[in-house]
Amino acid sequence: MNRRSFVITGLAALATPSLVLAAPVAYTDGLAKTHLAKGEVVFLDFKADWCGTCKAQERVINALKGENPDYEAKVTFINVDWDAHGKGALVKELNIPRRSTLVVLKGEEELGRIVAGTGKDEIKALMDVALAAAASS
């Protein structure tokens, strides 16, 4: 394979949608309830751009999504901007103590939560709970 073919093939692979992680949905008021009402499993990530713990969690979440595409295919990931929604109704309703909180919901039920945890095994376990709940829908 010559250099030109190699570069073109590489660029085509990078542009293939199945190889690119979809961005999580940015939260707006009522969005989580809308997805839950459709029977979806929702993974909420309460985060702030300036939060180091949040960034560490995001790296782990993205790595796990890369390892298992079923996470994104079957679970709705929603980022909740702490600076915009940290004092909002969703935070109060779910009793979210701080940014860097991850919560999995299905219907009216909370299936799991992590507060400030950044370990791969811990986050994978929570994502697996979400995936199992989605599979049982």
* Global pTM value: 0.83
Domains of the chain, by residue range, sit at 23-135
pLDDT tens digits for range 50-83: 999 999 999 999 999 999 999 999 999 999 999 9
Q: Which CATH class is domain 23-135?
A: alpha beta
* Spatial CA neighbour of 76 closest among 31, 24, 30: 24
Q: What is the C-alpha separation between 13 and 67, in angstroms, rounded?
A: 17
| H-only helix segments in the chain | 3-15, 31-37, 52-67, 70-74, 82-85, 89-94, 120-135
And the tokens for 60?
A: 């782990």
pLDDT tens digits for range 14-33: 444 444 456 789 999 999 99
* Spatial CA neighbour of 113 closest among 30, 42, 15: 42
pLDDT tens digits for range 91-137: 999 999 999 999 999 999 999 999 999 999 999 999 999 999 999 87
And the tokens for 35?
A: 């997805």
